[in-house]
Homo-oligomer: A and B are copies of this chain.
Amino acid sequence: MTVDRDQVLRTAAALLTRKATATMDEVARAAGIGRATLHRHFAGREALVRALEELGIRELEAALDAARLDADGAPDALRRLVTEVEPVAGLLAFLVTENQLFETEQMHEGWARIDARVSALFRRGQEQGEFRIDLTPAWLTEALYGLIGSGAWAVQDGRVAAKDFQYMIVELLLGGARRSVEK
């Protein structure tokens, strides 16, 4: 009888990922509940988006944990990261867009935590001589986000196969487009 708040959130995430401008009414219908009930659980669209943000951050941090970023070489850790992040990629893309849309009225601290962990991975790779040092960890982090977003959209629009998601992103990010003799 009682609405499953988490289920509603995931449905909303799936919908908003496809259509970022979806109405509260559309979100409610998608979740199979009434608009009034949706409002009882989330006091307005902003609250809903914030809840989604927290969900995204939670899942992303879970993905970071699962990827064991400190283990093995940085390249392998990066592979695991992208693999783990893949299911969250759509939500992530939505949240990033949402954030840069409504000029950050104050960024959630969770993003900073996540940025720090990802940056640390790239920094570790540089220190261990696996990553080049002329590209800053900050840029590599941004680039990773960008590629994940592009990958998510491309998969969603059917321009690339979902099964290639991880491979394409990691291969491009690690090795680049240039054909290398050492490969």
Contacts and interface: CB of A to CB of B under 8 A. Distances in A.
A122 B143 CA distance: 19
Interface stretch (A1-9, A26-34, A44-52, A144-152): A144-152
Interface residues of A, number: 50
Nearest to A183: B132
Nearest to A137: B177
A139 B154 contact: yes
Contacts of A25: none
Given A103-B19, A142-B160, A160-B142, A174 B172 contact: no
A110 interface: no
Interface string A108-134: 000000000000001001000111111
A97 interface: yes
A14 interface: no
A105 interface: no
A152 to B, nearest CB: 10
Given A97-B97, A147-B143, A18 B180 contact: no
Contact of A178 (B102, B132, B134): B132
Interface of A: 18-21, 75, 97, 100-103, 122, 125, 129-136, 138-140, 142-143, 145-147, 149-151, 153-154, 159-160, 164, 168, 171-183
